[in-house]
Amino acid sequence: MRLHWHRRDLRLADNRGLAEAPDSPAGLFVFDDRVLDHAGPPRVVFMLEALERLRAAYRKRGSELLVRYGDPASVLPEMADRYDAEFVSWNRDYSGLANERDDRVANALRDEGVTPQKFHDAICHEPGSITTNAGDPYSVYTYFWKKWRDRPKDEPDPVPELADIGSEADGETPIPTVGDLGFDPPDASVPPAGTDAARERLEAFLEEDVFRYDEARDYPAEGCTSGLSPHLKFGTIGIRELDRRVRETRDAVEGEKRESVVEFRSQLAWREFYTHVLYFNPEVVTENYKTYENGIEWEDDPELLAAWKRGETGYPIVDAGMRQLRTEAFMHNRVRMIVASFLTKDLLIDWRAGYEHFRERLVDHDTANDNGGWQWAASTGTDAQPYFRIFNPMTQGERYDPDGEYIKTYVSELSGVDPEVIHSWHELTPTQRENAAPDYPAPIVDHSERREAALSMFERARGED
Ligand code: FAD
């Protein structure tokens, strides 16, 4: 008998560790305070629903998902002893913190004569398997992508025979509610969790939206992206299963449709690229990936930061994004880039403050992707936006939301305002603004001035001033 410790793999199918370690497994999930400390209510709600569904799937197959609280380094040996498990398996997580914890757990298990079994599962190609010809990890995505794309992919594993621990697990601990874990219910709506929901999302996406992904993915009002990020974060769908369906879809079409599917697949490779970056550079969670000659002199302005968080900057596309985050615990990728650029290059606020806010609010917060996205926007990361390329939030809004449809969905003060007025909000006089939308704020900073200030800040950091 074996215990499989579920962490970011809340599913039975296409689960490497669950399927490939010796002996029939029963599942175990541990609520660890150190992990919960970093979570926000939307993510916790999504995770709890995924656990309910996982437990139901175990029970349907005559087995059980056990649930415990505490430090995994104490809980796992205790549970292995209680259930007479010779092995404890798990799938690897690639952050520095997770690696340290897993080493502690593995040692604690070995001390009790239990064999830990670790597997690569969360991404198609594990860190270290895609490298430059000199054997180094890539810091440029394009080359990584070409190798990732051409490398053969493993097939998904079937669900193994599970251990029947029915009678011993009687009276098993219920899955807690969000309140039991000390969180307030989220203000934001949270999408359905679990493998069935993930598969439904994927199939709906592959039916239509994936074929216009290439041309429409940057337009937030189009809503044509997959919405799979929370499922990938919690592993409610396996990456081999997902990628196989994407390849099957690609191979069934030609021309632009095929290119569009390939474009989608290249986004899955970004996720793997950032996972590798995090694995080889665990310090990026708090430190800039890219070193400048001098420290970057970020400004510390709590009022500007608060206005950005509330979505009251007077830059409509930025405010729409921040309000989407508040109400849906999600934000469209293009808009994430715009709000992150605005925080770091218009407000000159350190990317870490933005990352922290996203970590608390996003249902799909993923250390590797969130950090990669923030450091890209702040010009401190791998493959980052060059420091002198600064998004103009008004032209970004005009280009990617020309009819103001996305903006009006989230910024109710602008719902009756013409798109031309919305996109020239920064140029209007106070009287014109008062007449058009009296409750919507004037821009809190002047983009042209702040752009110059940002350039000087980076030039000083580069030692050019
Ligand atoms: P789709 O376009 O359908 O993409 C499919 C999948 O590919 C995504 O679910 C995701 O797993 C992956 N992917 C897509 N774009 C990227 C990307 N640029 N980098 C890495 N992986 C990508 N993504 C997260 O999963 N979690 C985060 O916490 C996160 N934070 C971000 C913060 C910033 C500042 C930026 C600029 C981007 C961030 N992203 C993050 C990447 C991207 O915005 C989201 O993955 C995407 O918006 C999720 O929506 P989707 O599933 O519909 O995406």
- Please tell me the total count of domains within the chain: 3
Tens of pLDDT, residue by residue over 63-75, are: 999 999 999 999 9
Q: Are residues 218 and 114 in the same domain?
A: no
Mutate to test the pocket of ligand 1, among 333, 350, 358 (most ligand atoms within 8 A of CB): 333
Q: Are residues 455 and 368 in the same domain?
A: yes
pLDDT at position 170: 67
Would you say 70 is a known binding-site residue? Answer: no
pLDDT at position 465: 67
d(CA 244, CA 268): 12
With cut-offs at 50, 70 and 90, classify the pLDDT of residue 359.
Answer: very high
25 C-alpha to ligand 1 centroid (Å): 32
In a domain, 297, yes or no: no
Contact 441, 314 (CB under 8 A): yes
Q: Are residues 354 and 446 in the same domain?
A: yes
Ligand 1, closest atom to CA 231? 9
Domain that holds residue 19: 2-121
In a domain, 242, yes or no: yes
Contact 329, 321 (CB under 8 A): no
**Is the per-residue pLDDT at 133 higher than 80?**
yes
Percent of the chain with pLDDT over 70: 99
**Is the per-residue pLDDT at 37 higher than 90?**
no
Q: Are residues 215 and 203 in the same domain?
A: yes
**Is the per-residue pLDDT at 234 higher than 70?**
yes
Residues 6+ apart with CB under 8 A from 148: 124, 125, 130, 269, 272, 273
In a domain, 168, yes or no: no
Supply the CATH number for residue 427's domain.
Answer: 1.10.579.10
With cut-offs at 50, 70 and 90, classify the pLDDT of residue 18.
Answer: very high
Question: Which of 121, 145, 165 represents a domain boundary (last residue)?
Answer: 121
Residue-averaged pLDDT of the chain: 96
Q: Are residues 111 and 134 in the same domain?
A: no
10 C-alpha to ligand 1 centroid (Å): 19
Question: Which of 74, 96, 121 represents a domain boundary (last residue)?
Answer: 121
Mutate to test the pocket of ligand 1, among 267, 328, 341, 343 (most ligand atoms within 8 A of CB): 267
187 C-alpha to ligand 1 centroid (Å): 22
In a domain, 295, yes or no: no
**Which residue has a Cα nearest atom 17 of ligand 1?**
270
265 C-alpha to ligand 1 centroid (Å): 12
Q: Are residues 319 and 400 in the same domain?
A: yes
Supply the CATH number for residue 13's domain.
Answer: 3.40.50.620
Q: Are residues 262 and 202 in the same domain?
A: yes
CB of 260 closer than 6 angstroms to any ligand 1 atom: no
229 C-alpha to ligand 1 centroid (Å): 6
In a domain, 61, yes or no: yes
Q: Are residues 395 and 439 in the same domain?
A: yes
Would you say 196 is a known binding-site residue? Answer: no
With cut-offs at 50, 70 and 90, classify the pLDDT of residue 364.
Answer: very high
Q: Are residues 336 and 239 in the same domain?
A: no
In a domain, 180, yes or no: no
Reported pTM: 0.97
pLDDT at position 33: 83
Which residue would you say has higher pLDDT here, 172 or 403? 403
pLDDT at position 172: 81
Which residue would you say has higher pLDDT here, 131 or 22? 131
Q: Are residues 452 and 353 in the same domain?
A: yes
In a domain, 39, yes or no: yes
Q: Are residues 307 and 441 in the same domain?
A: yes
369 C-alpha to ligand 1 centroid (Å): 7
In a domain, 175, yes or no: no
Tens of pLDDT, residue by residue over 419-436, are: 999 999 999 999 999 999
Percent of the chain with pLDDT over 90: 93
CB of 229 closer than 6 angstroms to any ligand 1 atom: yes
With cut-offs at 50, 70 and 90, classify the pLDDT of residue 186.
Answer: very high
Ligand 1, closest atom to CA 354? 34
34 C-alpha to ligand 1 centroid (Å): 25
Tens of pLDDT, residue by residue over 139-182, are: 999 999 999 999 999 999 999 999 998 766 767 889 999 999 99
CB of 96 closer than 6 angstroms to any ligand 1 atom: no
> What mean pLDDT comes out for the span 376-391?
90
CB of 407 closer than 6 angstroms to any ligand 1 atom: no
Q: Are residues 380 and 430 in the same domain?
A: yes
**Is the per-residue pLDDT at 362 higher than 70?**
yes
